Copies of this chain bind each other. A is one copy, B any other.
Amino acid sequence: MQTVSSWKSFGGTLSVHEHDSAVCGCPMQFAVFTPPQAANGPVPVVWYLSGLTCNWSNVMEKSGLQRVAARLGLMIIAPDTSPRGDDVPNDDAYDLGQGAGFYLSATQAPWAKHFQMDKYITEELNALVLSEFPADASKQGITGHSMGGHGALTLHLKHPDTYKTISAFSPIGAPSQVPWGQKAFAAYIGDDTTDWAQYDATELVAKHASGATMLIDTGDADPFLEEQLKPELFINACEAAGQSLNYRIQPGYDHSYWFIASLIEDHLEHHAQGLS
């Protein structure tokens, strides 16, 4: 692992790292905010999964999370949204290929060789972070935005003992039922829709609710609300499954980082409380 950049921020450190990922078959970059409290020993960790087109920089530059994480003593990890590079397959569309990994394990050509983002994050990057940074393995939470908000929901539901706390901003609610998810799942996993359920939060929660309370915020001025996010599908599934859920529709807010910045303090407090 190499350190690409490092800056002092709110008394802590924001750093960017690169490592050769065996799972993704390419170099991968991720960012870490280490709070000042880490000088005294391991601290709780919150994973932030970004949305379509993003990398580590969007949330670290635009959400203002460092201030809150420094106050609460949380480490924040921001992985990339896909494998990248000239040797990695891509697509001209913003919602497929590089920048659009959907936090799943692709089985179809040409994607399967590199696009293994769920395994990368839950196994390879998790082990790397726990070995290289003062992170408390027993206190991990996960959150994210849009495609990454949905990714956080699925990784929590499949690994509730790893990611004990969960929140999301503007998540896709049921990817199998909306254009973004249908396009990505068909390309990465194939046309047999029975294989999609393992990566669909609405399907996953229907089978097995987690013991955690989910905090989710979505803006009612979000331009993707009705066609892509469809919060009602996930809300209904949670209700049927007995999943504890605090889903807040925030008036006037859209899909942007202006929205995330406005609510990030609530989310990190939710994680800090659950991990304390």
Contact = CB atoms under 8 A, between A and B. Distances in A.
Interface of A: 7-11, 14, 61-62, 64, 66-67, 219, 221, 252-254, 256-259, 261-262, 265
A8 B253 contact: yes
B62 A262 contact: no
Contacts of A262: 8-11, 66-67
B66 A7 contact: no
Contacts of A14: 258
Contacts of A7: 254, 256, 258-259
A62 B59 CA distance: 10
A186 to B, nearest CB: 33
A66 B230 CA distance: 29
Contacts of A64: 64, 67, 261
Contacts of A265: 67
Nearest to A252: B8
A60 B210 CA distance: 38
B261 A10 contact: yes
